[in-house]
Every structure is written in structure tokens, then in C-alpha cells.
Structure 1
Amino acid sequence: MKKLKFIVFSIFLVFGSFSTINAQVERNSELFKILKSKDSLLFKIGFNTCDISQFKNLMSEDFEFYHDKSGVLNSKEAFIKVMENGLCAKTNPYKARRELIAGSMKIYPLYNNNELYGAIQNGNHRFFESFEGNETAGNIAKFSHLWIIENKQWHVKRILSFDHQMP
């Protein structure tokens, strides 16, 4: 009996691993387009123009942000507060802009019993810094975002921003 269980388990592992070889979705897939749109709302509108409402709409209530240079923010509220009082403060002469590096974004769907419940978005992005209107190229970094479907809506639950390097 133990031998039969081992054989069945081994077959499951082998065939299960084949299904993950090409786990990244195609760029023309609906999932890729949805998360590229969410990325645009989060960064092109939210981050780049300091539209805080985008963070409120797109972030999970159980949000966490991990940054290799500035540490951890353990909640949606903490992240929004940092943005409102820091980068997006009206009196702050420093501004930042983020661009997704073309072709770098990859999406990996997450399933539970064949039902899509989330996705991992990986890619590279470049930041630009502006002080009193003079913009200069900043660092390039890698990112991973965990997107989860909550109440039939996509929300970013975890953000990891790492490997920040000056070009």
C-alpha cells in the first residue's frame, strides 16, 4: 500500500511540474492586459501624479510593502500616510516618476483547485527624480507584486521593490 501511494504521489509531482514549466502568461492574454492596466493605474496615475485614490482603490486591506533601501510598511494605511506626508506632500519640492521597463513585465497566475485567485507580477522599473522641475534619471530596480482577487476585484497585497541600482 505504501508503495502504491508513493507511485501515485510521484506521478502527481512529475505531471504537476510539467504544468508549471510555462506558467508565465502570454502578453496578449486577458490576465496580462488586466494586470498591465492595474500597474498603470498604480504607477502612472497613483505614483507619478500622486493620485492617492488609486492606492486606496487598488491596495488590499492586508497590504505590505518591502523595499530594500527604506524598509517595510506593514499596512495600507502606513503606505498611504508615507505617500501623503512625503513624496506627495504639496510642500515637497522633490518628485519622483516611475516607468515600467518595456518588455520586462511577466505575469504568473495563481490557482487553487483550477480557480484563478491571484497572480505574481515581476518586472523592472526605472525611477526619475525631479527637484524644482529639473528631472534626472534615478535608479533601476526589480519588483514583484502579489495581486489577489478580493470580492471579484484585483488588489495588490504585497509589493517587493529590490535590487535598486544606479544605471
Structure 2
Amino acid sequence: MKTTAALIALLLGLLAAPTQAQTPPALQQELDALDAALFEPLFNRCELERMDELLHPQLEFLHDQAGRQDRAGFERATRQNLCSGQGDKPLRRLLPGTLESHPLYANGELYGAVQTGRHAFFLRGADGRERPTSQARFVHTWLRVGGRWQLYRVLSFDHRPQ
């Protein structure tokens, strides 16, 4: 009987718990644009001069296959592996409907955001053809620094063939 009463109390408590607030639409658009601002110019087009505006000085990148990198290591790997101009060009595409953004507040002030999602990777050959290689999940933590967003922490995991 005590177990049943405890279960009922727990269920009632869950039903009465406040739901998570929705991200305001303007902020959601701003956060969604961060993903495109990071991957389209930097990863897909190798506009490496954008790193200073997009990457936090204390960037930490955790990858389930490539290990841990600080900002210097991340920049070096990007130049060598993604943007060397040698061989097939890696490309990244967000899988539609998978991006979720959650703002972070301290004392009512927006200071950052967490994004999660899934993305797919491709290789574009010299002939222009793209072939799928893998999919993965990601978690990005963005911080607002001086009025602009910078990528602070990255978790890239669950890589698997497409």
C-alpha cells in the first residue's frame, strides 16, 4: 500500500512539474544560424579566417574517434584534414529536424546556449560527386562574449557509417 501511495505521489508531482520554457523565436533563429555560420563557411568552404570570430580562445573539442583537442589542435587538424586542398573534400550537412537549441541564463541574463543534433558527412571528389561517409551526434556549447557568440565546447560522438 505504501508503494502504491508513493507511486501516485510521484506521478502527481511529475504532472505538476513546470515544463521547460520555449526558446523565444528570435533567439531560436539566432541560435539556428550559429550552426550554419560554423559549418558552411568553416567546414565546407574552408574560410579559415572566420575561426577568430567563431571559436572561443579556450575551445575544447572532444571526439569519439580523434580524441581531445584544444583550440590550437582543432585549428591544426582543420587545416590539415579538412582544408589542405589535397584529395577529396570533406563536407558536413545538418540532418533536418535534429537541431535543438537551449539558452543558458545566469541571473536572468543570457550568457550561452547548448545545441544538440545529428549531422552527416560526405566526401566530394575531384569529379564533383559526393559520397556519404558517416553520421554522428553532437553537442555544442556557445558562449556570448562581447555581444557575439563563440563556440566553447564540442562533443562529437556516435560516429557510424551512413
The alignment's TM-score, normalised by the length of structure 2, stands at: 0.83
Residues 1:36 and 2:32 are matched in the alignment: yes
Deviation at 1:24, TM superposition (A): 5.3
Q: 1:18 to 1:112 in 2, by over 3 A?
A: farther
Q: Which 5+ residue runs of structure 1 have no aligned equivalent?
A: 1-13
Residues 129 and 108 (structure 1), Cα distance of their counterparts in 2 relative to 1, 3 Å cut? same
Using the aligned pairs only, state the percent identity: 33
- CA-based RMSD: 1.9
Q: 1:35 Cα deviation (Å)?
A: 1.8
Is 1:162 the counterpart of 2:160? The answer is no
Q: Deviations over 1:15-59 (max 9, x none)?
A: xx945x324526xx1122112212111101110011112222100
What are the equivalent positions in structure 2 for 1:44-59 lying under 5 Å apart?
Answer: 44-59=40-55
Q: Give runs of aligned pairs for residues 78-93 of structure 1, distance below 5 A.
A: 78-90=73-85, 92-93=86-87
- Is residue 77 of structure 1 aligned with residue 75 of structure 2? no
Equivalent AA in structure 2 for residue 132 of structure 1: A
Check whether the contact 2:60–2:152 (CA below 8 A) recurs between aligned residues.
yes
Q: C-alpha separation between the residues in 1 aligned to 2:111 and 2:121?
A: 30
CA contact (8 A) 1:41 1:54 kept: no
Report the Cα distance in structure 2 between the residues aligned to 1:23 and 1:142, rounded to whole angstroms.
24
Q: Secondary structure at the match of 2:117?
A: strand
Tell me the TM-score normalised to structure 1 length. Answer: 0.81
- Mapped to 1, the partners of 2:49 and 2:34 lie a distance apart of 13
How many pairs are equivalent? 147
Inter-CA distance 100–24: structure 2 relative to 1 (3 Å threshold):
farther
- Which structure 2 segments of 5+ residues have no match? 1-12
Instruction: Name which of 123, 138, 161 aligns with 2:133.
Output: 138
Q: For 1:62, what is the secondary structure of its paired residue?
A: strand
Q: Secondary structure at the match of 1:69?
A: coil
Q: What are the residue-to-residue correspondences of 1:57-72 with 2, within 5 Å? A: 57-72=53-68
* In structure 2, C-alpha distance between the alignment counterparts of 1:41 and 1:85, rounded to whole Å: 21
**How many Å apart are 1:154 and its aligned residue?**
0.6
Q: Distance in 2 between matches of 1:146 and 1:65?
A: 11
